[in-house]
C-alpha cells in the first residue's frame, strides 16, 4: 500500500481502486414480510412471506460468481476482503419487533458508507437487516486499528412509528414529498441511497432512506460536503440511486430514462459540463428478479478507475454503450447473485481509492 493515502480513503465512485470489500451470500436467508417492504405487496393476501433458507444450490451458484468477481479484482492488483461468515436464518427479537430471520452479507454497499478516511455504519430501515453490520465488524475493527475512523450512525429502534405500513404506489407514482414510505420518526438510510461525487453527495428519499437520515449525515460530515436532495419520478418502489444516477468518471454520468428527473438536479450537471447519457435497461425481465432488484440492474456497474468498468457479461447493450464512451469493459457473470439483492455496485464497498476530496461542480464553489 502506498503511504500517500490512508488505509481507508474514498471520495467518489471512479478514482483508482486499491482495496474493496466484496459481499458473500453464505448463510443468507429469505426475508419474511415486514412493514418496510409493504410497497412490494400492495395486495395484502400476498403478504405471507414467513422467512426461509435459500436452497444450497442457489447459494453456491451466487457465491461462485461473487468469488469470480473477487478474482477479477485481484487480477487487476486490487486487495479484496470478504465479510465474516454469519448464519442469518435466526430469529431477531428486540423490545420493538420480532421477525423470523435476517438477510445476508451480499451487499456491503448498503451497510457501509465510506467518506474519506471514515467508515460509517448506516442506520438501515429494514428489520431483517438489523444485525447485518456484524458480518463486517471484524474488517472494520481491522481498519480502525490501522488508523481509519469509524462511526456508527444512530441505531434506529425500527418500531412501528417509523413505517407507513399501508404505503403503496399502486395507481400513483412514488412521491416522497406527499406520500413517504418512511416517517421522520428517527434517522434512517442505506449507504447505497447516496451517490458520491467528491464534495457533493446526492440522495433521494426512498423505501429505506428518509430526510432525517440525510440531515444526520449532513451535520456529521460538516461544511466540507454538500448533501443534495434529488427527485426522480418512479413508477416502482424506489430503493437506492445506483440504478438511477450512475457516475462513470468526472464529466460523465448515466441517467435512467424511465425515471425522469423532476427537479433541477440535471440542470446542475449540465451547467458544470457533465455529459448525461441515457442508459439501456437490463436484457433480463424484472420478473426474473426478486422485488428488490430493478429491471435497470444493467446500470449497477462498478468502476475500478476512470477507464475500467465491470459489467454483467450478458448485458450487451450496456457493454456497447460504455465501450462507445471509451471505457474498458471487464465482464463477469452475475445473474445468480441478483436474487440476493443487487449487482456489482451493491455487492462491493470500496475501501481505498487513490484520490483526494475535490469539487466536480465548480458553479457551487
Active site residues: 190, 240, 346
* Cα–Cα distance, 175 to 238 (Å, whole number): 10
Beta bridge partners of 246: 254
User: 267 Cβ partners below 8 Å, 6+ apart?
Assistant: none
Q: Maximum CA pair distance of the chain?
A: 58
What's the distance, CA 200 to chain centroid?
17
- Other C-beta atoms closer than 10 Å to the C-beta of 324 total 9
Minimal CA–CA distance to 254: which of 357, 342, 325? 325
CA atoms of 299 and 284, how far apart (whole Å): 12
| Closest CA relative to residue 36, chosen from 95, 103, 104 | 103
Asked if residue 110 lies in contact with residue 133, where contact means CB atoms within 8 angstroms, the answer is no
β-strand partners of 120: 113, 151
Dist CA 322 CA 320 (whole Å):
6
Q: Which three cell numbers stand for residue 12?
A: 467518489
Amino acid at each position: 500500500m502506498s503511504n500517500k493515502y490512508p488505509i481507508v480513503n474514498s471520495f467518489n465512485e471512479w478514482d483508482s481502486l486499491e482495496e474493496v470489500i466484496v459481499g458473500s451470500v453464505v448463510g443468507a436467508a429469505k426475508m419474511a414480510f415486514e412493514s418496510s417492504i409493504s410497497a412490494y405487496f400492495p395486495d395484502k393476501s400476498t403478504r405471507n412471506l414467513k422467512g426461509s433458507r435459500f436452497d444450497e444450490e442457489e447459494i453456491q451458484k451466487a457465491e461462485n460468481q461473487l468469488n469470480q468477481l473477487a478474482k477479477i479484482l485481484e487480477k487487476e492488483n486490487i486487495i479484496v476482503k470478504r465479510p465474516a461468515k454469519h448464519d442469518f436464518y435466526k430469529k431477531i427479537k428486540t423490545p420493538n419487533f420480532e421477525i423470523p430471520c435476517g438477510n445476508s452479507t451480499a451487499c456491503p454497499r448498503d451497510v457501509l458508507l465510506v467518506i474519506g478516511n471514515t467508515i460509517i455504519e448506516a442506520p438501515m430501515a429494514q428489520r431483517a437487516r438489523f444485525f447485518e453490520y456484524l458480518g463486517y465488524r471484524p474488517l472494520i475493527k481491522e481498519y480502525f486499528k490501522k488508523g481509519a475512523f469509524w462511526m456508527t450512525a444512530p441505531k434506529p429502534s425500527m418500531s412501528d412509528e417509523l413505517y407507513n405500513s399501508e404505503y403503496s404506489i399502486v395507481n400513483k407514482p412514488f412521491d416522497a414529498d406527499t406520500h413517504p414510505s418512511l416517517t421522520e420518526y428517527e434517522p434512517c438510510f442505506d449507504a447505497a441511497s447516496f451517490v458520491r461525487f467528491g464534495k457533493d453527495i446526492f440522495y433521494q428519499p426512498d423505501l429505506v432512506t428518509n430526510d432525517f437520515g440525510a440531515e444526520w449525515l449532513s451535520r456529521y460530515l460538516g461544511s466540507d460536503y454538500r448533501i443534495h436532495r434529488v427527485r426522480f419520478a418512479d413508477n416502482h418502489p424506489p430503493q437506492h440511486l445506483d440504478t438511477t444516477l450512475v457516475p462513470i468518471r468526472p464529466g460523465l454520468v448515466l441517467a435512467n430514462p424511465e425515471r425522469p428527473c423532476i427537479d433541477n438536479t440535471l440542470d446542475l450537471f449540465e451547467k458544470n459540463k457533465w455529459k448525461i447519457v441515457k442508459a439501456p435497461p437490463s436484457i433480463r425481465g424484472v420478473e426474473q428478479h426478486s422485488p428488490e432488484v430493478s429491471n435497470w440492474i444493467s446500470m449497477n456497474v462498478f468502476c475500478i478507475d476512470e477507464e475500467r468498468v465491470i459489467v454483467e457479461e450478458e448485458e450487451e447493450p450496456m457493454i456497447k454503450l460504455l465501450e462507445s464512451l471509451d471505457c474498458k469493459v471487464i465482464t463477469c457473470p452475475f445473474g445468480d447473485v441478483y436474487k440476493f439483492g443487487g449487482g456489482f455496485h451493491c455487492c462491493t464497498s470500496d475501501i481505498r481509492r487513490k484520490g483526494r476530496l475535490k469539487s466536480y461542480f465548480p458553479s457551487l464553489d
